[in-house]
Each structure stands twice: as structure tokens, then as C-alpha cells.
Amino acid sequence: MKNLATLTNLKGKKVIVRVDFNVPLKEGKIRDDNRIVAALPTLQFLIKQGARLILLSHLGKISHKEPAKVEDEKKKNNLQVVAVRLGELLKQVVVFSPDTKGPGLQTLVNGLKDGQVLLVQNTRYEVGEEKNDATLAQAWAQLADAFVMDAFGSAHRAHASTFGIPELLKKQGKPVAIGFLVEKEVKSLAKVVQVNPSDRPYVAIMGGFKVSDKIKVIDQLLAKCDYVLIGGAMTYTFLKAQGKAIGTSPFEADQLDYARGVIAKAKGKLIFADDYVVSDAFDNPTKIETHEGEIRGAMMGMDIGPKTIAKFTKIILQAKTIFWNGPMGVFEKPQFTKGTEAVCQAVRTLGKKAFTVCGGGDSAAAVAQFGYMNDFSHVSTGGGASLEMIENAGHLPGIDVILG
């Protein structure tokens, strides 16, 4: 595996590190610096070797197709605050380049000393970033002697900074590698992509909002798993597809055929809820009840019910491998956390008896919010990327370009 251990003689070498500093901001301040903290081991390793670091990251979205918005979005998604925070965490000065390319950036790169760190402004300021523009990739690649990919959350995108640069450097015979963060993701997710007979039963738990977002994931998991438990809002599309009443619950009319098809071919692997916590309104509900089998009247499903929790828990406790994506209910509201927390609790009870992975932005947020981060073998840092890893049998463009 082309990991950091394969990079040698780094002293004085200029190394581009693609990091994921796409942190949540509020009024220009960093709301959660987890992603910066998560990059530290790789950065500290490279600093210790005397490398000169050029860090690239995107931050938020810049709608280049709508020019009227661009200036505002650039102001909103300015990476400079991250340079300040990174400096505090590394306990050394982090130089910031307001220029994303050209002579200004080149001068700062030339001025780097061994072990120094330069953070470049948001890669998405460049219109060519998301198009993997060859000229842009070349402008960045020529700055460096080596490249490290440590932005797992961006590895499913073949952009100039995640794909173009390593592709060029590799062609030039220059070393490329994955960082510690990506290495852990790759190793952990590989265990839920390819499961040995001795690591079964393999139980997947699917929830979240939309069936349509997760079709490929569900198909892949049905092929690999012994059981696929279905909770969350996607439940109602499956219920409706079976001709059952769902009250005012959300469902996807254009996914009913798909849902019927999945049920027909799943042959008992698919496990649905038997009861539901329902309410009369999404916001400020005045009536909360538990309904069994169907959802009656003008009520909407908000969480799985107690019988379902017991059934799901029993199956989870027999597992040797777990992949979980998607909350079981509207966990952001205190009345509807129980289903999602019960999954966390079952994983805690399993402890080391199983290899347990949580992937997905909101699912990982729920695990953190309820205080179960240390109970999982792995909580993925990449929402979309972890799902695409499952969909594509372990392959992502930003990782394949390095390891392939």
C-alpha cells in the first residue's frame, strides 16, 4: 500500500497535501474544528521529516455558473480562518496564500523552509477545480516534488486537486501516497466491502431520508449482507410499496417500483420495522403515539417503535460485521432519538465481538451527539465518500489514482 511509510528522503522536499478543511463556519468563525484536528497526524509526520508543506483544500461551494453569486460565496468560504486555527493546533506559524495560483503563490512556495506549512486559499475559487482542468492541475503539480492524499471526504470526486495533480506527478515518476486518515478509512471500509465467511453474520442498518439517494448502496448491501435492516424515512416508501397505510409520512412516488423489486429479490434478508413512533406534525407536534403495522390517520412516522428496537437489537447483537448508514428517526428532535440511540447502544453492547462501521454525514453526527464515537470500530469522516466506497466495491477515483 502506498502509504506515508513509502515516502522517504523528504527533507527539503515540497509536498502537496490534499486535506479536507471543509469545516462548518458560522459568521466567519469555525464551528467545529474536527476536520483540522483529524489532519494533524499526517501533517506532523511530514513536518518531522523536514518536508515543506503546501496544503490544498476546498471549502463550501462556489457557483461559478452563477457569476452574480461568486463574490459573496468567495467571501463566505475564505480559508484564511483555517490557517489561523491550524497554526494554533500545530503550534507553529502557518503561512496563508490568498492566491490560488500564479506568481504570488510561487513566491510563497519558494520561501518555504524545511518543516514549514503553507495553506493555499480555497481550491474552488478556481473554476477549473471541479472540472479537473488540465492547465490548473499542471499549475499546482509543478509546485511540488510529491503528493499526499488525506482528504477522504473528497476522494469520490475526480477534481484537479484530488485527481489531476497525483495523475500528473505519477506520470513524472514523482512519489504519491495516501495519508494516515485515508489509510484508516480504506482499511476499515475494505472490511465491509469484502466480508470473509468467518466475519458473518454481516448486518447492514439503513435509514435516513431518501430511498433514491441510497439505491446503489442498498443493492450492494443486499448482495453482500445476511440481513439489511431498514429504518428512517425510507421505510415509508417500502411500506407504501406493499400497499400499507403511511398516514402523512413522506415517501417517494417514483421509487415504489424499485422498492417492490427489492422486496421481491431480497428473499427474507430485508428486515422492516413493525411499529413506528408517529406525530401529528413535523415541527412542534402536539400528539405523539406508537402505531403498529400501519400508520393510521393524519399522523407521520418520525422514528422506529419499541418492538422494532427490540427486534433490530436482537439481530445486531448476533452480528460479526456491521455497516450502518442513516439515522432511524428524526434524531435532531429530542422526542425521536430513541431508535437511532438504540442502534448506538446495541453496537456498544457488541463491543469487540464485531467489526462495526458507521458511514454517512448525519449518521456520524448522531453517533457523536449521543457520545458513542469510541464504541464503533470506525466512524467514517466522509459522508458521501463512504457510501460511494460501498457502491463502487471499494473504489474511489481519488484513491485509485494513487493506489492503482
Cα–Cα distance measured from residue 309 to residue 332, given in angstroms and rounded to the nearest whole number: 18
Stretch that binds Mg ion, among 139-147, 175-183, 232-240, 362-370 (CB under 5 A): 362-370
Helices (H), 318-360: 338-350
Among 49, 122, 321, 363, which residue interacts with ligand ADP (rule: CB under 6 A)? 363
Are the C-beta atoms of residues 394 and 370 closer than 8 Å to each other?
no
Report strand pairing: 227-230 vs 25-26. Answer: unpaired
Q: Residue 153 binds which entry of ligand ADP, Mg ion, none, with Cβ cut-offs from 5 to 8 Å by kind?
A: none
The yes or no reply on residue 164 touching ligand ADP (CB under 6 A) is no
* Nine cell digits for residue 30: 469555525
> Which are the contacts of 169, defined by CB distance < 8 A and separation ≥ 6?
141, 144, 146, 147, 175, 176
| DSSP label of 351 | G
Q: Which residue lies nearer to ligand ADP by CB, 128 or 360?
A: 360
Contact positions with ligand ADP (CB under 6 A) in 205-224: 207-209, 213
Half-sphere exposure of 292 (CA within 13 A, CB side): 2
Question: Total number of residues binding Mg ion (CB under 5 A)?
Answer: 2
The yes or no reply on residue 122 touching ligand ADP (CB under 6 A) is no
Q: Which residue lies nearer to ligand ADP by CB, 163 or 336?
A: 336
Contact pattern from residue 264 through residue 303 relative to ligand ADP, giving x for each residue in contact according to CB under 6 A and a dash for the rest: -------------------------------------xx-
Half-sphere exposure of 161 (CA within 13 A, CB side): 29
Q: Would you name the residues annotated as active-site residues? A: 35, 210, 361, 384
Q: Smallest distance from the beta carbon of 174 to Mg ion, in angstroms?
A: 36
Are the C-beta atoms of residues 80 and 97 closer than 8 Å to each other?
no
* Nine cell digits for residue 119: 495553506
The yes or no reply on residue 153 touching ligand ADP (CB under 6 A) is no
Contact pattern from residue 367 through residue 386 relative to ligand ADP, giving x for each residue in contact according to CB under 6 A and a dash for the rest: ----------------x---
The yes or no reply on residue 232 touching ligand ADP (CB under 6 A) is yes
The yes or no reply on residue 361 touching Mg ion (CB under 5 A) is yes
Q: Residue 62 binds which entry of Mg ion, ligand ADP, none, with Cβ cut-offs from 5 to 8 Å by kind?
A: none
Cα–Cα distance measured from residue 274 to residue 307, given in angstroms and rounded to the nearest whole number: 7
Q: Smallest distance from the beta carbon of 113 to ligand ADP, in angstroms?
A: 42
Q: Smallest distance from the beta carbon of 222 to Mg ion, in angstroms?
A: 21
Stretch that binds ligand ADP, among 19-27, 90-98, 105-113, 357-365 (CB under 6 A): 357-365
Q: How many residues does the structure list for the chain? A: 404
Q: Smallest distance from the beta carbon of 302 to ligand ADP, in angstroms?
A: 5
Inter-CA distances, 7 with 10, 16, 42, 388, Å: 7, 13, 12, 28
Report strand pairing: 29-30 vs 25-26. Answer: antiparallel
| Cis preceding linkage at 306, omega within 30 | no
Among 72, 292, 294, 332, which residue interacts with ligand ADP (rule: CB under 6 A)? 332
The yes or no reply on residue 233 touching ligand ADP (CB under 6 A) is yes
Q: Which residues of 356-393 are buried (b: 16+ CB within 10 A; e: fewer)?
A: bbbbbbbbbbbbebbebeebbbbbbbbbbbbbbbbbee
Contact positions with Mg ion (CB under 5 A) in 235-274: none
How much is the CA Rg of the chain, to the nearest whole Å?
Answer: 23
The yes or no reply on residue 325 touching ligand ADP (CB under 6 A) is yes
Question: Total number of residues binding ligand ADP (CB under 6 A)?
Answer: 20
Cα–Cα distance measured from residue 322 to residue 195, given in angstroms and rounded to the nearest whole number: 10
Among 185, 362, 375, 388, which residue interacts with Mg ion (rule: CB under 5 A)? 362
95 in helix, strand or coil?
strand
What is the distance in angstroms between the CA of the first residue and the CA of the last residue of the chain? 10
Q: Which residue lies nearer to ligand ADP by CB, 270 or 358?
A: 358
Residues that bind Mg ion in the complex, under the rule CB under 5 A: 361-362
Residues that bind ligand ADP in the complex, under the rule CB under 6 A: 207-209, 213, 232-233, 250, 301-302, 325-327, 329-330, 332, 360-363, 383
